[in-house]
Amino acid sequence: MREHTFTTVGEVKRKKGEIPEIGIAVIGFGFMGKAHLNAYKKIPYIYWPPVVKINLKKLCGIPEEQVKENQIRYGFKEYTTDWKELIKDEGIQVFDNCGPTNLHKEPCIEAAKAGKNIFCEKPLGRNAGEAKEMLDAVEKVGVKHMCGFNYRFVPAIRLAKDLIEKGELGQIYHFRARYLQEWIADPNFPFVWRLSKKVSGSGALGDLGAHSIDLARFLIGEPKSVMGITKTFVKERPKAEGSREKMPVDVDDAVAVAIEFENGAIGTLEASRFCPGKKSQNIFEINGSKGSLSWDMLRLNELQFYSTKDEAKGIGGSRTISVTESFHPFYKEWWPHGHIIGWEHTTIHEIKHFLEAVVKGEEISPYGATFEDGYKCAVICDAILESAETGKRIEIGY
């Protein structure tokens, strides 16, 4: 057992003037905008001594009254409703895109051309073509780029990756993932941007399945081929709450996929927003020749681990690892062991990783997801949609 130690003020070696300052622009103050801003607020005092001085320079969003209010709420110096204003501002070094998916490509490409480091939420583009244009733009200029696959920053998931890399699971046979929600199961739930292909690119697949696809690549390796089935259960919805006017739904409500990996493992993946009672069940299980692992977002700090070594010792059974030790990934800056953390912390770890890469010139990959990972995920999503449409198994080619 080890004691948890905290960094104290006396350990601060850096003089004030040596901490680099970076100007930050954020598009969006909705769900993910709030999660990212929570991270920008906490990073300077949770990670001590600070590696970066955060200057919240400009917030962009619509409508104007709400942007103004959120400028005050989060302490931005300025606000705008026009993302092009962010590109022109030379005091902005980090461009953080938390807008809807149709607002990812053009602003990110323009930001890259202006030399800004870019964080863009997932899915990177509405399709692989858009994602490739974005990847090419950041690579051409050489700025840092990250795509918001935040589950890579769950301590238990990073521990799972470490255990797999150390060979604790042996040869991997299976990956099984589900990401299930309930919020559109009611056919009267009104139309929102996530139900329009023009805005979001796809439905449950890009919204939820993309996270499982990224974890599959992160933990198991590259997929070789996919076979998918998609379904749209409710094909039109009220334009607004209580409205008689209807809007067509042209994205998948649910998707089921069979995957074959390059390394010989096989897997299944399911994503749906039609599962009453499932608020946000993000879950996976991995089976290998020497053991198994499983994780469930609703028990975020726990990793279920079974090792055949325990069987040989006469112990047997699956164990629950409380991933809250100071020696576990990402944990040492938080609380004494057992004092659990939550979903918001994944974004804090992720954005801290990004900012550190920007100020120290470090790599985002392999632990953080780059635009290349965002592009590869988009290729897999497109292949799943093609398979669902043609009834054929589709080979993955990047």
Instruction: Output the CA torsion sign for 43, 45, 51, 53.
Output: positive
Nearest distance from residue 33's CB to ligand NAD, in Å?
5
The beta strand positions in 140-187, using DSSP E, are: 145-147, 172-180
Q: Binding of ligand NAD at residue 37 (CB under 6 A)? A: no
Query: Residues 157-196 vs ligand NAD: string with x where CB under 6 A?
Result: ----------------------------------------
Nearest distance from residue 330's CB to ligand NAD, in Å?
16
Q: Which is nearer to ligand NAD, 68 or 174 (CB)?
A: 68
Per the DSSP assignment, residues forming a β-bridge with 291 are 288, 307
Which residue of 150, 230, 294, 307 would you call a contact of ligand NAD, by CB under 6 A?
150
Tokens of 170: 């042996």
Which residue of 6, 31, 335, 398 would you call a contact of ligand NAD, by CB under 6 A?
31
Contact segment (CB under 6 A) with ligand NAD among 45-53, 56-64, 129-137, 305-313 equals 56-64
The strand pair at 117-120 and 145-147 is best described as parallel
The beta strand positions in 17-80, using DSSP E, are: 21-27, 53-60, 78-80
Q: Which is nearer to ligand NAD, 133 or 310 (CB)?
A: 133
Which residue of 29, 74, 274, 295 would you call a contact of ligand NAD, by CB under 6 A?
29
Size of the site for ligand NAD (CB under 6 A): 21
Nearest distance from residue 373's CB to ligand NAD, in Å?
13
Sole residue written with tokens 């100007």: 23
Tokens of 294: 């499983």
Nearest distance from residue 390's CB to ligand NAD, in Å?
26
Nearest distance from residue 321's CB to ligand NAD, in Å?
24
**What DSSP string describes 301-322?**
TEEEEEEHHHHHTT--S-EEEE
Which residue of 71, 79, 99, 177 would you call a contact of ligand NAD, by CB under 6 A?
99
Nearest distance from residue 162's CB to ligand NAD, in Å?
22
Beta carbons within 8 Å of 69's beta carbon, 6+ residues apart: none
Q: Which is nearer to ligand NAD, 73 or 360 (CB)?
A: 73
Contact segment (CB under 6 A) with ligand NAD among 22-30, 85-93, 238-246, 273-281 equals 22-30
Q: Which is nearer to ligand NAD, 105 or 144 (CB)?
A: 105
Question: Among candidates 321, 349, 325, 329, which has minimal Cα distance to 338?
Answer: 325
Q: Binding of ligand NAD at residue 203 (CB under 6 A)? A: no
Q: What strands, in cross-sheet order, belong to the sheet with 319-322?
A: 319-322, 302-307, 291-296, 281-288, 172-180, 266-272, 254-261, 223-231, 394-395
Which residue of 32, 138, 293, 358 would you call a contact of ligand NAD, by CB under 6 A?
32
Question: Among candidates 161, 128, 112, 64, which has minimal Cα distance to 120?
Answer: 112
Measured in degrees and rounded to the nearest 5, phi and psi for residue 324 equal: -135, 15
Q: Binding of ligand NAD at residue 148 (CB under 6 A)? A: yes
Would you say 96 and 25 are in contact if contact means Cβ atoms under 8 Å apart? yes
Nearest distance from residue 123's CB to ligand NAD, in Å?
6
Q: Which is nearer to ligand NAD, 48 or 183 (CB)?
A: 183
Tell me the C-alpha to C-alpha distance, in Å, between residue 389 and each of 13, 166, 203, 393: 59, 40, 15, 11
Q: Binding of ligand NAD at residue 125 (CB under 6 A)? A: no
Q: Binding of ligand NAD at residue 60 (CB under 6 A)? A: yes
**What DSSP string describes 218-243?**
HHT--EEEEEEEEE-S--EEESSTT-
Closest residue to ligand NAD using C-beta atoms: 30
Contact segment (CB under 6 A) with ligand NAD among 50-58, 94-102, 167-175, 295-303 equals 94-102
Nearest distance from residue 127's CB to ligand NAD, in Å?
14
In the region spanning residues 206 to 225, those forming contacts with ligand NAD, defined by CB under 6 A, are 207
| Residues of this chain that bind ligand NAD (CB under 6 A) | 27-33, 60-62, 83, 98-101, 103, 121-122, 148, 150, 207
